[in-house]
């Protein structure tokens, strides 16, 4: 990991390390992903070294996030054209407009989200080296077989589509395992160790305008246990039908009944990834 490359000595070191097979991560100042190559050359990197060692470039920009006071309306055709380059799993029909309220000081915006541009080497760098494809072609927007360029979009769009899940479990190792399962399914996971953390995480999400799509919670936890947390939650109209799945080692029927009464799913520990997936798919439909 190299903080930032600003001089030819660091650049040479980075390229040498990459050529010897090390994974080198670094930042460099450039206007976009394509401009990274001329920038490396300026700092003394040779084309052949770039071709054989650079495996990808990610550029980041921060854009303003709409405040929760935003309003939805039908998208117009000229706007649809602006979104052409972005691959969307579903056709775009609506768009959000900034409105303004006391919370956002009437700006209509609250916070920022990062958008990323990817430029990834797919086959090999040989053609770039031979000058048959590369910077110029890519900048013209061609998709060469050597480099695959993806325009700005929200990183892990699939993840964003799947939404955020709150995971509550007091045993750290179990929490990490289940969290990994959920992340692999494409969810963003916010972790807590008991019901109290659950309330805090929900509040935080509400403040940040993040929609929680489900809660996966252990039953027996210190301070505020799973059923107590969910019972309180269900009293709020907003969370009346939020999908919830309990995880527990207890095979006792009373636990199953408690889960049922709270309109929650129920899976036994150790949690099986595919079982969790089946339940989540059924509940979040
Ligand atoms: Zn607002």
100 CA to centre of ligand 1 in angstroms: 4
212 CA to centre of ligand 1 in angstroms: 20
CA distance 156 to 258: 36
Higher pLDDT, 52 or 213: 213
70 CA to centre of ligand 1 in angstroms: 7
How does residue 190 score in pLDDT terms, banded at 50, 70 and 90?
A: very high
Can you state the angle between helices 226-234 and 195-208, rounded to 10 degrees?
A: 40
Average pLDDT over residues 81-110: 83
For the chain, how many helices (H) and strands (E)? 12, 10
* 117: Cα within 13 Å, side-chain hemisphere: 15
The predicted pLDDT at position 156 comes to: 36
7 pLDDT above the threshold of 60: yes
245 CA to centre of ligand 1 in angstroms: 33
101 CA to centre of ligand 1 in angstroms: 4
- Of the candidates 278, 284, 282, 269, the residue with the CA atom closest to the CA atom of residue 177: 269
How does residue 43 score in pLDDT terms, banded at 50, 70 and 90?
A: very high
108 CA to centre of ligand 1 in angstroms: 5
106 CA to centre of ligand 1 in angstroms: 6
222 pLDDT above the threshold of 50: yes
Q: Which two tokens stand for residue 268?
A: 């036994």
Q: Which two tokens stand for residue 148?
A: 């695959």
The predicted pLDDT at position 133 comes to: 37
210 CA to centre of ligand 1 in angstroms: 14
Q: Give yes or no for a contact between 226 and 218, defined as CB atoms under 8 angstroms apart.
A: yes
Torsion of CA 32, 37, 42, 45, to 10 degrees: 150
99 CA to centre of ligand 1 in angstroms: 6
234 pLDDT above the threshold of 80: yes
pLDDT in tens, 121-131: 654 433 343 33
232 CA to centre of ligand 1 in angstroms: 28
Average pLDDT over residues 97-118: 86
- Of the candidates 187, 177, 196, the residue with the CA atom closest to the CA atom of residue 247: 177
Residue 203 CB: number of other CB atoms within 10 A? 10
115 CA to centre of ligand 1 in angstroms: 21
66 CA to centre of ligand 1 in angstroms: 8
13 CA to centre of ligand 1 in angstroms: 48
How does residue 89 score in pLDDT terms, banded at 50, 70 and 90?
A: low
64 CA to centre of ligand 1 in angstroms: 12
Q: Give yes or no for a contact between 265 and 256, defined as CB atoms under 8 angstroms apart.
A: no
Average pLDDT over residues 137-148: 40
179 CA to centre of ligand 1 in angstroms: 32
157 pLDDT above the threshold of 50: no
The predicted pLDDT at position 86 comes to: 64
98 CA to centre of ligand 1 in angstroms: 8
The DSSP code sequence of 167-188 is EE-SSHHHHHHHHHHHHHTT-E
- Of the candidates 57, 11, 15, the residue with the CA atom closest to the CA atom of residue 35: 57
203 CA to centre of ligand 1 in angstroms: 17
Could you tell me the pTM of the whole model? 0.46
The predicted pLDDT at position 13 comes to: 92
The predicted pLDDT at position 145 comes to: 34
246 CA to centre of ligand 1 in angstroms: 35
Residues near 28 by beta carbon (within 8 Å), at least 6 away in sequence: 4, 5, 36, 39, 40
112 CA to centre of ligand 1 in angstroms: 14
Report percent pLDDT > 70 for the chain: 83
The predicted pLDDT at position 121 comes to: 67
Domains of the chain: 8-155 (3.40.50.300), 159-283 (3.40.50.2300)
Higher pLDDT, 196 or 52: 196
208 CA to centre of ligand 1 in angstroms: 11
């Amino acid at each position: 990991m190299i903080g930032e490359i600003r001089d030819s000595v660091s650049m040479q070191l980075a390229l040498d390390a990459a050529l010897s097979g090390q994974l080198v991560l670094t930042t460099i100042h450039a206007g976009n992903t394509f401009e990274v190559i001329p920038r490396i050359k300026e700092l003394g990197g040779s084309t052949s070294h770039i071709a054989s060692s650079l495996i990808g470039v990610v550029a980041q920009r921060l854009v303003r996030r709409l405040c929760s006071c935003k309003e939805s309306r039908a998208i117009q055709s000229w706007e649809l054209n602006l979104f052409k380059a972005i691959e969307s799993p579903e056709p775009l029909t609506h768009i959000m407009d900034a409105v303004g309220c006391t919370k956002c000081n009437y700006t209509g915006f609250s916070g920022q989200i990062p958008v990323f541009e990817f430029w990834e080497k797919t086959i090999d760098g040989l053609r770039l080296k031979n000058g048959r494809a590369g910077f110029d072609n890519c900048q013209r927007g061609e998709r060469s077989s050597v480099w695959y360029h993806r325009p700005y979009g929200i990183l892990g769009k699939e993840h964003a589509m799947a939404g955020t899940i709150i995971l509550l479990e007091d045993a750290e190792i179990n929490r990490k395992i289940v969290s990994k399962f959920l992340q692999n399914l494409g969810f963003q996971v916010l972790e807590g160790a008991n019901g109290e953390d659950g309330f805090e995480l929900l509040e935080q999400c509400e403040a940040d305008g993040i929609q929680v799509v489900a809660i996966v919670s252990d039953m027996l936890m210190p301070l505020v246990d799973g059923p107590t947390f969910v019972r309180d939650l269900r009293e709020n109209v907003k969370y009346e039908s939020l999908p919830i799945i309990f995880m527990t080692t207890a095979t006792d029927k009373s636990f199953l009944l408690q889960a049922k009464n709270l309109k929650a799913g129920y899976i036994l520990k150790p949690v099986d990834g595919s079982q969790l997936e089946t339940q989540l798919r059924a509940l979040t439909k």
